[in-house]
Structure 1
Amino acid sequence: MSKILELFNKIETSKVIASNIDYSEYIALDLSTANAELERHSLETAADYEIFIQNYLDNNKSKIAYGGYIETRNLYKRSFVFNSQNTDERNIHIGLDLWINEQAAIYSALDGKIHSFQNNTALGDYGPTIIIEHEIENIKFHTLYGHLSEASLIGKNVGDLVKKGEQIANLGLPPINGDYAPHLHFQIIIDMENKTGDYPGVCNIKNLEYYSVNCPDPNLLLKIK
């Protein structure tokens, strides 16, 4: 773990969404159960969240809201993907979300190759998803880009090379994107555990220790603020 953290510290800032928007126009957003402000709003549908997030951006004179790593949320209660009767509830977010209410361009964080991709179509899932494999200084890891447009998967092939800053997709809109307000779910994954086209972006408290190591803070790469 220490080696990959040292590596990320050396890598220059990577921007993965709407490259024309400067980090000075980003604002942190707390969607955790600890945020009492959320209780003052009716947030049940993608449209509810779109309105809430746009008002938040407008009030803070910002263009992109970001956050969510190791954040406990109520956002997933509507979906059986996270609340199967046979498993413990998964409600701890292990990626970083970048919220913007438009179909923004999505870019590869680093040089790499396409590991896998697929459309994860269940309510509350990623929708169209691309995973890129990277290897730097003999250290292999992956970046996941979720909640994309359907067209983003057209013409993709496993093994295709991509360059840092290359546009790889466009942001998806509800309901195609898992039925969320438009946002990019960006996640670092060290060991894909033989999974393809998908990897958990939300975990339960029992597995948090493992996932917090296998999925380190994405802001180590993005370096927002």
Structure 2
Amino acid sequence: MDELLTILQETKAAKVISNAIEYSDYVPLDLSINNVELASSGINTANEYAIYIQNHLNFHKGKIAYGGYLENRNLYKRSAVFHSEETEERNIHIGLDLWINETAPIYAALEGKIHSFQNNTALGDYGPTIILEHKIASVTFYTLYGHLSLDSLENKKVGQLIKKGEQIANLGMPPINGDYAPHLHFQVIVDLENKTGDYPGVCSLSTLSFYEKNCPDPNLLLKIKK
């Protein structure tokens, strides 16, 4: 794990969405339970979130909103994917979200190969998803790209070689993207635990210590802003 953190920190920054938009046009976005404005707004649908996020971008004169790593959110309460009577609620986000209310190209953060891909169709899930496998020095790890367009899964093959910066997908729109306001969920994963085409992007409080280690901060790689 320490070796991977060093690799992420020393790797040259890579954009994973909309190359033409500079990091100076990215603005942080808080969707946590601590956002009093969000909590009192009563918004729930993908369209309502899209309006809220666009207003946030407009106010801050930004083009992409980002954030969400280890953020405790109420966003997932509408979906049975994240809670049931038998399981502890999952509400802590363990990836980085990049929000933009328009179609956008998605790029590979690093050189690698396609590990797996699938359409995770449940309400609130990833929708179309691609997972890439990377190996740097002796360290193997993965990056996950969720909430893609359906055509992003066409002409893909497991084991297909991918170059850093190569366009691998397009951003998905609701409801295909899990029925969210348009955004890319980007996640770094140490151990996929034998999963294919899917991996938890949200965890419960009791499992946070594991997932925080297994899914380090993606901004170590992207280097958006400090």
Length-normalised TM-score, structure 1: 0.99
Return the alpha-carbon distance in structure 2 between the equivalents of residues 148 and 201 of structure 1. Answer: 15
Residue number in structure 2 paired with 1:61 = 61
What's the secondary structure of 2:207's corresponding residue? helix
Residue number in structure 1 paired with 2:88 = 88
1:152 maps onto 2:152 in alignment:
yes
Residue number in structure 1 paired with 2:74 = 74
What's the secondary structure of 1:134's corresponding residue? strand
CA deviation profile, 1:49-75 (whole Å, cap 9, x unmatched):
000000000010000000000000000
CA deviation profile, 1:79-116 (whole Å, cap 9, x unmatched):
00001221100000000000000110000000000000
Return the alpha-carbon distance in structure 1 between the equivalents of residues 84 and 154 of structure 2. Answer: 31
CA deviation profile, 1:145-199 (whole Å, cap 9, x unmatched):
0000000000000000000000000000000000000000000001000000000
Q: Which amino acid aligns with 1:110?
A: L
Residue number in structure 2 paired with 1:22 = 22
What's the secondary structure of 1:7's corresponding residue? helix
Kindly state the Cα deviation for residue 2 of structure 1 after the two structures are TM-superposed.
1.1
Return the alpha-carbon distance in structure 2 between the equivalents of residues 8 and 172 of structure 1. Answer: 27
5+ residue gaps, structure 1, are none
Q: Give the aligned length.
A: 225
Residue number in structure 2 paired with 1:111 = 111
5+ residue gaps, structure 2, are none
1:221 maps onto 2:218 in alignment:
no
1:161 maps onto 2:161 in alignment:
yes
Kindly state the Cα deviation for residue 42 of structure 1 after the two structures are TM-superposed.
2.6
What's the secondary structure of 2:76's corresponding residue? coil
Return the alpha-carbon distance in structure 2 between the equivalents of residues 40 and 59 of structure 1. Answer: 19
What's the secondary structure of 2:221's corresponding residue? helix
Q: Which amino acid aligns with 2:11?
A: I
Residue number in structure 1 paired with 2:196 = 196
Answer whether contact 1:42 1:48 (CA < 8 A) is retained: no
Return the alpha-carbon distance in structure 2 between the equivalents of residues 46 and 101 of structure 1. Answer: 11
Moved beyond 3 Å, runs of 4+ = none
RMSD: 0.6
Residue number in structure 2 paired with 1:179 = 179
